[in-house]
Amino acid sequence: MGRIVVTEFISLDGVVEDPGGAENTRHGGWTFRFNDPEGMKFKLAEVQQAGSQLLGRVTYEGFAAAWPDRTDEAGFADKMNAMKKYVVSSTLKDPGWHNTEVLGPDLAAEIERIKAQEDGDILVAGSIRLVQGLLAEDLVDELRLMVFPIILGSGRRLWAESEDDITLGLAGVQRLDSGTVILTYGRRSGD
């Protein structure tokens, strides 16, 4: 049985927009201000352990433009290109990236189907609107936040306005030399 694992680069004030600079926003590439080999090892291990990816259309299109022609010694690019990719989109009809499936409109039913057919982690990176929908529908099994010690003041945030609160249980904390902290949350015990 698969698990939905959300992984995000996030500022102290909740901004997740354009951590790598590909979107050319005001703060684009803000994570590159922090040189952290431990963080890169964490991200490599995370991708290597994942069985597949679940992405929103915008993140998918960014990844599909960047990864297919890349290779690296660590095997990150090879894994990104080989693994199964699921894309939640109402507009994407013909994905060009190898091993990609576009999901139908019923998010909860599609997640149930994917979890039943996948073993291991189904990694969700970026994909702000998708993550907000997954959280709202209580479809996230684990939330990994790489919290950078920066306040950006503007940019799209992970946390959407909601009438309902979401309570999680802390599963792990890892402090990196740069001051970045990796926080891992799961569903609260008993839920």
Task: Enter the pTM of the model.
Answer: 0.93
Percent of the chain exceeding pLDDT 90 equals 77
- What residue ranges define each of the domains in the chain, with the CATH number in brackets? 2-187 (3.40.430.10)
76 with 44: CB under 8 angstroms?
yes
Percent of the chain exceeding pLDDT 70 equals 98
- Which residue has 């073993």 as its token pair? 119
3-state SS class at 156: coil
**Which residues make Cβ contacts (< 8 Å) with residue 161, sequence separation at least 6?**
none
Beta strand 2-11 pairing with 120-125 = parallel
Give per-residue pLDDT as tens, 141-163: 999 999 999 999 999 999 877 78
Taking residue 189's Cβ as centre, other Cβ atoms within 10 Å add up to 6
- Which residue has 């069985």 as its token pair? 51
Taking residue 105's Cβ as centre, other Cβ atoms within 10 Å add up to 9
Question: What's the pLDDT at 160?
Answer: 77
Cα–Cα distance for residue pair 18/27, rounded to 1 Å = 7
Give per-residue pLDDT as tens, 45-91: 999 999 999 999 999 999 999 899 888 878 889 999 999 999 999 99
Cα–Cα distance for residue pair 131/188, rounded to 1 Å = 18
